[in-house]
Structure 1
């Protein structure tokens, strides 16, 4: 039986360290909408060109007088039509299981709580995570995991499975395209109650019909963002 992480994380939220050197609640941070409701996404196939996609992100931020974009948890997105990586025989994957923080390449990322490196990999496919780091954590005897995707390749060289990571320790950076999976620079942060035997990778996008299952496995990462 999978642990119910949401109430556990809520109890400890006051203890978590900032992931970035700014608060996600600050005025410089704006929510970005990547669903079909956004009229700017009427032709998502244009976003196969990462430079076009990057310009869209910049325009969306400028329209809200923001410098950082955030959002996406359980958002049914049209942007995944840019890559065959999200196609499936029965139902395309479009339900986002993490939170994206759209910041410049090179932005440092810190661990919100102490843990160890579970695994790491360069998921080097168009539209994939690119360099990926997964940490394992423990609270009140419950083990769970956090995933950091779209990083820099140099981050992988300095880490190894089993390595200790302190709360607040800078351990990776937001990567540039194309090495970050060929996306506009951003961090994909995701929580998982169970790795299901996976190593260095975990689905970050699911079929919308499976929402209930994936929401129970992957709670809202905003619980650890401050």
Structure 2
């Protein structure tokens, strides 16, 4: 199945938005946010500080009368410059293009699986700026198999998980972690679709370089095709 066909498949699964946060949050309380390197507002605070990031996100949501800020798919970001985990000597090899959809909201918020799925793997990815606690679910929809990744969770979320464990669609699977465990970010969910996990377990690149963009954008289509947030 080529990328276009797979994206059409995801879009056709459900005509309505499929929540990964509390479904009682009304659609109008989700607001798009631009965190790309072209956003001049991000020069008004220290982007190396998770506390100042949290203040910025909170103010942005308040100003837009929103509970959740979302966005970031294929967004080129400067925040990854703070960690050597993402940087290389060659600018084209620097990993700064975001492959998932971020949903910025409060630590402790419940996370739900949008589809029936089984636990493929999980891990605590502790590099500075990494996911922290991470869960990957495997989904079998008819003859089509793919995966969803949930990053920046609480430690409690992965404490009692078992590989192969089944979760029914809209079952609570995790809670969001805070900056002490989530890679030192303002609280948010990194939600990503992965077509082929290759040999990865408990982890998969959520940020890529310009050199690798074609491969990763084909293997990780826009999650909003499934969530339909706007």
TM-score (norm 1): 0.92
Are the counterparts in 2 of residues 132 and 148 from structure 1 also a CA contact under 8 Å? yes
Partners of 1:2 and 1:140 in 2: how far apart?
17
User: SS in structure 2 opposite 1:216?
Assistant: helix
Shift of 1:168: 0.8
Alignment partner, residue 145 of structure 1: 147
- Aligned pairs (5 A) from 1:60-209: 60-90=60-90, 91-209=93-211
Gaps in structure 1 of 5+ consecutive residues: none
- Aligned pairs (5 A) from 1:14-53: 14=15, 17-22=18-23, 26-42=27-43, 46-53=46-53
Gaps in structure 2 of 5+ consecutive residues: none
TM-score (norm 2): 0.90
**Root mean square deviation, CA, Å:** 2.1
- Shifted more, 35-44 versus 97-106: the winner is 35-44
- Shifted more, 128-137 versus 158-167: the winner is 158-167
Cα deviations by residue, 1:168-215 (Å, 9 ceiling, x for unpaired) = 110101111111111100000000000011010000000124322211
Shift of 1:17: 4.6
Change (3 A) 1:154 1:60: same
Query: Matched residue pairs, number?
Result: 225
Change (3 A) 1:23 1:73: farther
Aligned structure 1 segments of 4 or more residues deviating by more than 6 angstroms: none
Are the counterparts in 2 of residues 83 and 127 from structure 1 also a CA contact under 8 Å? yes
Partners of 2:192 and 2:13 in 1: how far apart?
17
